[in-house]
A and B are shown apart, each in its own frame.
Chain A
Amino acid sequence: MKPATAQPGLGIHETLGDARLQLAIYTATQRLIDHRKKAVASDVLPAYQDLRTLAHQIKRHTIEHLDYYLEQVEANVTARGGKVVFCEDANEVADFVLKLAKEKGERLIVKSKSMTTEEVHLNERLESHKLEAVETDLGEYLLQLAHQRPYHIVAPALHMTRHDVADVLTESLGVAREIEPEKQTKIARATLREKFLEAGIGITGANFVVAGSGAVVVVENEGNARLTSSAPRIHIAVAGIEKLIPSAKDLAVFLKLLGRSATGQPLTVYTSFLSGPRREDEPDGPEEFYLVLLDGGRTKLLADEGKRESLYCIRCGACLNHCPVYRKIGGHNYPWVYSGPIGAIITPQFHGIDTDPWLPFASSLCGACLEVCPVKIDIPKVLLKLRAEVTASGAKGKRERTAFRIWAWVMGKPRLFALFGSLAAHFSPRPKNGAWIRRLSWPMNPPPLPAWLSQRDLPAPAERSFRSQWKSRKAAR
C-alpha cells in the first residue's frame, strides 16, 4: 500500500497538464457515457429505475444477512465438489495461491480480470516466488507489460491510445510496431493462447457469487475468463465477500444493469456460470475448483449503518465515467486500485481515514455518481460522512476548525455579518468598469483567495449589499 499522504501528489498537476492524456480520458469516458445513456433510455429499458431500486434492496438484504449467505455458499460449493477458502486479508490470498501452486507443482498461472486480486497485489507476490502469472484480459495484459496498475475498474487501459499500445507491445515483446487495434489484438492473442494451453492454474474474479447454488458468475467480452476458468486443470475464483447474491433469479436484475451501466451493452458477450469442478458426465472444465472469499477490510464496514451501502457496489465503473473529477485527474492519482467516486468512498473505509485524508474532499459533490449508480449508492452522502470523520479526527488541523467555528458564530450575528461585509466591500480593490479582480496583494489576499485567483478572476463585494439596498428600496416606496 502507498504511504500516507495528507495532500494529493504532484500527479494531478501533471495529468492536468498532459493535453494528450486529458483528451484520451475525456473521449473514452464520453463514449461510455453515451453508450450507457442509450442502453438505459426509458424506451429501451422502461423498468430501469425500478431495477435500480430492486438491486439496492437485494444488496441491502444480502449485506445485512451476510453471515447466513456466507455459510450457505460454503455448503453449496462444497456439495459441488469445490472448496471455499476464507481469507481475512490480502496476504492470506497470496499465501493460499502460493501454497496450492507448490503442492500441485504448477508454475504458470493465467488470470482473467479481477479487481480483487489487484487489491492483494497477487501478481507481485507470485512473481517474487518465481511463479509466472499472466493477465489475459487485453487491457490488463498491456498494463502488466507496462508495469502499471488499472486506470479504471472496467476499462483498465482507458488512458492508453493505440499509439501507446503499439509502444508497449514493441518494447516488451519485440514485435513490429502495429497501430491498428485488430493487429495489436492478434499479437496479444498469439502470445496468450500459448499461455492458456500451458497453464495449470487459472484465476478469475467473480462478478456475482450465487449463495443459493454456489455458482460464480463472470461477465466479460473477450472470452479469456471462460478459457481461464476451463482450460487449466485448477480454477481459483477470487471474490470479495460482498459479491454474494442470494439466488440465481436475482441475476435477472443485476445482469440487466451491469453491462448497460458499464459499457452500454444489454449483456456482455460472455456470461459464464462456473459451478465447481468438472463432473463425470461433463466434457470439459477444471479438475479442481476453489472459491477464495476475501474480507480485506469489508467486515469493518458492516458495522457502520450510515456507510454500509458502500459494499453494494457491483464495480460497473459508471460513477468513474460520469465523475467530472475523475475525468480530469484520471485513475492513477487515486491512492488505491479503486479510483473515481467509489474509490474515494471505499479506500478510506478499508484503510482508515488517516491514510489519505484529502480523498473524501476531492469531489464537487455534483451527485452525477449517485444518478448513474445501478445500485443507488448515495456516494455524496458517504463522502460527507467521511469528511466529518476526517475533520473530527483532527487531520484537517486546528486552524480550519477554528475558522469554521468563528464563521458559524458570525453567521448567527446578523449585524456583525453585515459589518464584516461592508468592511470587505470598503477595502476591496475595485477594478474599473465593473471588471473582476485579477490579482490581490498583501494584506488583501488571505487564504483561500490566492487559490481562487490561481484559476479565476474574483468579483469585488458589492458596494452596497442587498440588505442595505433593500432598506432604501422600501423607504422609496
Chain B
Amino acid sequence: MPSGRVSLFVTCIVDQVFPSVGLAMADVIERLGYEVEFRQDQTCCGQPAFNSGYPEEAATVARHFLRVFEGAEYIVAPSGSCGSMISHHYAELFPRDAEMERRTHELEPRVYEFSRFLLEVAQTDDVGAKFDGVVTYHDSCHALREMQIKQGPRRLLGKVRGLTLKEMDAAEECCGFGGTFSVKFPEVSGAMARTKIDSIQKTGASTVVSIDSSCLMQLQGAISRAGLPIRTMHLAEVLASR
C-alpha cells in the first residue's frame, strides 16, 4: 500500500466551475491509500496573465502559489496546462531573484499532473474503475508537448472495465481554447473547436476524455452549441466511476 500526503491543487476552473472533477480526483487518490489534503488558500497558477503578456502579474500569483504549497509532499493537479505552467514556466518569472528561483526549482519536482501521479508515484494503471461506453481521448497541448504526456492517460483508460477507446485522427490537434486566445480571436477559436469535434464525431464515441478541464469547457461549449449527443469527461471522473 503506497503512503504519503497528497496536496490537491484543483485549479481555479475546477474549483469554480467543475468541482466534480476535483472530488473525483480526490476519491481516486484516497482509494489508493494516500492521505489527501486541500489547502484552502490556493487560487490560480497565474497562467492567464502569463500567456496574455503580463509576466509581472503572473509572478504575483506564482508567489502566492509558492507560499500556499510550501512544504507539500506531492502536489497533484487535474491539469497538464496548469501543471506545466508551474514546472516549466515559473522559473522564468523570477529572472533576477535567486531566492525565488531556488524555491521554484525546489517545488517543480513535486508537482504532478493527475495521470502522471497515478502511473509514476502510485505506480498503478488500474484503479478499479468501471465505465460503459465508447470514448475518445483528446491530447491537451501543454500536457502533450511540454510534459510529454501521451500514452499514460490511454494506459489508464485501457484498464477501465467496459470502456472502449477509439482514437480520433486529430487527437493531437489543438481544441482552440488557448486561454484568452478563445476570446481574443473567438471566430478562429470556434472554428478550431468545430474541426476537432468533426474528428471526434467520426469515431462514433459518445464521450470525449481529456486531462484538462479548460479544453473540455471549450469542446463541451461548442458541442452544446451544435446540439450534438456527445459529452465531455475529465479522466478523473472516468477513473472514479465504478
Residue from B41, B48, B185 whose CB has the most chain A CB atoms within 10 Å:
B185
Return the 7 tightest CB-CB contacts between A and B, nearest first: A364-B178, A455-B190, A456-B221, A387-B53, A448-B183, A366-B174, A408-B57
In contact, B178 and A366 (Cβ under 8 angstroms):
yes
In contact, A404 and B19 (Cβ under 8 angstroms):
no
Measured between beta carbons, the chain B residues less than 8 angstroms from A364 are: 141, 174, 176-179, 181-182, 189, 192
Question: A393-412: contact bitstring with B at CB < 8 Å (1 yes, 0 no)?
Answer: 00010001100110111111
Q: List residues 352-388 of chain A with CB under 8 A from any CB of chain B.
A: 358, 360-368, 370-371, 384, 387-388
Considering only CB atoms, which chain A residue lies closest to B57 in the complex?
Answer: A408
In contact, B51 and A384 (Cβ under 8 angstroms):
yes
In contact, B220 and A436 (Cβ under 8 angstroms):
yes
Is B69's CB within 8 Å of the partner chain A? no
In contact, A324 and B43 (Cβ under 8 angstroms):
no
Cβ-defined partner of B222 (8 Å) among A404, A447, A455, A469: A455
Measured between beta carbons, the chain A residues less than 8 angstroms from B19 are: 462, 464-466, 469
In contact, B190 and A417 (Cβ under 8 angstroms):
no
Is A325's CB within 8 Å of the partner chain B? yes
Given A438-B225, A470-B26: 13 more A-B contacts, CB < 8 Å: A361-B52, A364-B189, A404-B49, A408-B54, A408-B60, A408-B61, A451-B183, A454-B187, A454-B190, A455-B187, A457-B220, A457-B224, A465-B19
CA distance A467 to B38 in the complex (A): 8
Measured between beta carbons, the chain B residues less than 8 angstroms from A134 are: none
Could you tell me the distance in whole angstroms from the C-beta of A291 to the nearest C-beta in chain B? 38
In contact, B192 and A414 (Cβ under 8 angstroms):
no
Cβ-defined partner of A466 (8 Å) among B14, B50, B54: B14
Could you tell me the distance in whole angstroms from the C-beta of B135 to the nearest C-beta in chain A? 20
Query: B residues within 8 Å of A by Cβ?
Result: 10, 12, 14-19, 22-23, 26, 38, 40-44, 46, 48-55, 57-58, 60-61, 63-64, 141-142, 144-146, 172-174, 176-193, 195, 217-218, 220-222, 224-225
In contact, B49 and A407 (Cβ under 8 angstroms):
yes
In contact, A370 and B145 (Cβ under 8 angstroms):
yes
CA distance A367 to B172 in the complex (A): 11
In contact, B224 and A436 (Cβ under 8 angstroms):
yes
In contact, A455 and B57 (Cβ under 8 angstroms):
no
A368 and B221 in contact (CB under 8 A), knowing A388-B55, A412-B64, A467-B40?
Answer: no
Measured between beta carbons, the chain A residues less than 8 angstroms from B16 are: 421, 424-425, 461-462, 465-466
Is A391's CB within 8 Å of the partner chain B? yes
In contact, B52 and A13 (Cβ under 8 angstroms):
no
CA distance A275 to B40 in the complex (A): 69
Is A104's CB within 8 Å of the partner chain B? no
Residue from B146, B176, B187 whose CB has the most chain A CB atoms within 10 Å:
B187
Could you tell me the distance in whole angstroms from the C-beta of B29 to the nearest C-beta in chain A? 13
Could you tell me the distance in whole angstroms from the C-beta of A428 to the nearest C-beta in chain B? 10
Measured between beta carbons, the chain B residues less than 8 angstroms from A197 are: none
In contact, A365 and B187 (Cβ under 8 angstroms):
no
Considering only CB atoms, which chain B residue lies closest to A358 in the complex?
Answer: B184
In contact, B217 and A459 (Cβ under 8 angstroms):
yes
Could you tell me the distance in whole angstroms from the C-beta of A48 to the nearest C-beta in chain B? 16
In contact, A470 and B38 (Cβ under 8 angstroms):
yes
Could you tell me the distance in whole angstroms from the C-beta of B26 to the nearest C-beta in chain A? 8
Measured between beta carbons, the chain B residues less than 8 angstroms from A454 are: 186-187, 190
